[in-house]
């Protein structure tokens, strides 16, 4: 049945998000055609939803149909404003090709929010625009305007560009990125998160995914930061909450980041504990550094990252993230070689490392553990980890217990730079236990905490044969 039929006009195919077909009814005789007012580009038309408007028999909302003519592969934006809290649907040959979602926040605002919808035409022909109430209580006057949409979709974009874009539904929108200079680049997608929730993907020229992000920017916006060589790439902008919500305005910004001049750190370097900050470039590959100690030493690590979140560890103990890009760790370490690792899931960026050393506080029991002898000591002020040596003479199963009523304990057992086992909570409490078969040899027991530690907090450490 055509759209001009009055009694039961099917205005489109089943809507994917709701699974509901649109049926409308009007009180005039069936043979009387529905009037589809003609819309012209960039000319506002006035209308009003009232009790005589077409009725959707499925959900009870009222609607007014319009029509307009567009060319093939033309980007179009439809805007409805005024007192009406509105929804918009677009049809082609009676088939639904674009629509806005029900706006929950529209009914909670004193002043109605403008409703907008953007889409790309697929044929040079006539299209239908249906302006509907947001719900059964939505009535009132409105203005509707159809206008060509300026967009960089499927076009080549360059660095240092700020694009005012519009999400047009579907899985994503693509932008061809052309890079002329090897450098670190940041790509931001900013929008109203409650309606869109930005999501970004960067692909190489062959369509292989290089990096993706959901909430890396501020306020749940998306941000990609990575080091790119000259060539062509593809940016895919979409919504993290589904293609049906990929509607509305957003900003796409591509920036080339200025790099510090003193990028001297490279993976594999031997670090000095001199308190001097040194910088390096993280390029999506783990970084590892080492330093040597000749005696028990309290080592403090301070690190900052720019543009990416990192997992930074010292001998397997994770540095605490003080804010979004600052990491700290202070640990009492034994003589020997120690390693610092920096890793990140996908992003790239600049990082700094700063290491300082001071004499380790003299603990009454020393730093060597003996089988069956409990160590009752404190975690010194400003220290979050202490490393003990453990020498096993007789192979067998052993239990290592760390207990405290002052903080949440955490245990790691390492040998030759490899973590053999770690434990946070034993039997649903905040104490830690490691039970493992050990061969003869030398081990390291890292007594640390899962969270913050009050100054000079008490704890006990005991290694004993397994029962």
Confidence (pLDDT) at 342: 95
**Same domain, yes or no: 204 and 294:** no
422 belongs to a structural domain: yes
3 belongs to a structural domain: no
Region 398-420: mean pLDDT is 93
Q: Which tokens go with 46? A: 């006035």
pLDDT digits over 344-397, tens only? 877 788 999 999 999 888 775 678 999 999 999 998 888 889 999 999 999 999
**Same domain, yes or no: 161 and 189:** yes
**Same domain, yes or no: 346 and 394:** no
Given 82, 114, 148, the domain boundary residue is 148
Confidence (pLDDT) at 308: 81
**Same domain, yes or no: 177 and 275:** no
The average confidence (pLDDT) of the chain is 86
399 belongs to a structural domain: yes
Q: Model-level pTM?
A: 0.67
Given 96, 131, 148, the domain boundary residue is 148
**Same domain, yes or no: 110 and 135:** yes
Taking Cα atoms as reference points, which of 328, 308, 312 lies closest to residue 320?
328
177 belongs to a structural domain: yes
Whether the predicted pLDDT of 15 surpasses 80: no
What CATH number is associated with residue 138?
2.60.120.380
Given 257, 276, 300, the domain boundary residue is 257
Q: Which tokens go with 67? A: 């029509």
**Same domain, yes or no: 39 and 136:** yes
**Same domain, yes or no: 403 and 351:** no
Confidence (pLDDT) at 364: 57
Which region among 1-10, 119-128, 456-465 has the lowest average model confidence (pLDDT)? 1-10
Could you tell me the residue range of the domain that residue 40 belongs to? 9-148
Report how far residue 27's alpha carbon sits from residue 101's, in angstroms, rounded to the nearest whole number: 28
**Same domain, yes or no: 244 and 267:** no
Confidence (pLDDT) at 110: 62
**Same domain, yes or no: 333 and 404:** no
Count up the domains in the chain and report the number.
Answer: 4
Confidence (pLDDT) at 106: 61
221 belongs to a structural domain: yes
């Amino acid at each position: 049945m055509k759209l001009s039929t009055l009694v039961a006009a099917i205005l489109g195919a089943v809507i994917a998000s709701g699974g509901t077909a649109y049926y409308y009814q009007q009180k005039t005789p069936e043979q009387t055609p529905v009037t589809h007012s003609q819309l012209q580009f960039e000319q506002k038309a006035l209308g009003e939803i009232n009790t005589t408007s077409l009725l959707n028999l499925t959900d009870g909302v009222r609607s007014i149909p319009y029509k307009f003519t567009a060319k093939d592969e033309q980007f179009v934006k439809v805007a409805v404003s005024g007192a009406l809290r509105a929804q918009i649907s677009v049809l082609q040959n009676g088939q639904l090709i674009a629509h806005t979602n029900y706006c929950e926040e529209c009914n909670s605002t004193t002043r109605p929010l403008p409703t907008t919808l953007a889409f790309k035409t697929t044929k040079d022909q006539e299209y239908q625009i249906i302006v509907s109430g947001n719900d059964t209580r939505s009535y009132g006057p409105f203005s509707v305007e159809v206008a060509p949409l300026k967009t960089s979709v499927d076009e080549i974009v360059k660095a240092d560009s700020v694009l005012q874009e519009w999400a047009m539904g579907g899985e994503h929108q693509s932008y061809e990125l052309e890079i002329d200079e090897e450098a670190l680049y940041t790509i931001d997608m900013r929008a109203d998160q409650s309606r869109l929730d930005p999501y970004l993907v960067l692909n190489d020229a062959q369509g292989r995914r290089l990096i993706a992000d959901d909430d890396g920017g501020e306020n749940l916006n998306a941000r990609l930061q990575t080091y790119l060589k000259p060539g062509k790439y593809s940016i895919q902008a979409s919504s993290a909450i589904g293609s049906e919500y990929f509607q509305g305005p957003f900003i796409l910004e591509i920036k080339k980041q200025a790099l510090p001049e003193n990028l001297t750190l490279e993976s594999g370097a031997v670090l000095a504990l001199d308190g001097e900050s040194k910088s390096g470039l993280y390029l999506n590959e783990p970084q590892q550094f080492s330093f040597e100690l000749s005696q028990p030493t309290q080592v403090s690590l301070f690190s900052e990252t720019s543009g990416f979140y990192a997992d930074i560890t010292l001998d397997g103990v994770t540095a605490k993230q003080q804010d979004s890009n600052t990491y700290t760790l202070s640990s009492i370490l034994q003589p020997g070689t120690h390693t610092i690792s920096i890793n990140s899931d996908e992003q790239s960026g600049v990082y700094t490392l700063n290491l300082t050393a001071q004499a380790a506080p003299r603990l009454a029991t020393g730093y060597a553990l003996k089988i069956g002898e409990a160590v009752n000591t404190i975690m010194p002020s400003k220290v979050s980890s202490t490393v003990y040596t453990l020498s096993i003479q007789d192979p067998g199963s052993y239990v290592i217990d760390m207990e405290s009523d002052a903080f949440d304990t955490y245990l790691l057992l390492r040998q030759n730079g490899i973590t053999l086992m770690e434990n946070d909570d034993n039997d649903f409490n905040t104490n830690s236990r490691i039970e493992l078969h050990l061969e003869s040899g030398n081990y390291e027991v890292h007594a640390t905490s899962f969270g913050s530690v009050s100054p000079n907090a008490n704890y006990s450490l005991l290694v004993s044969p397994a029962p």
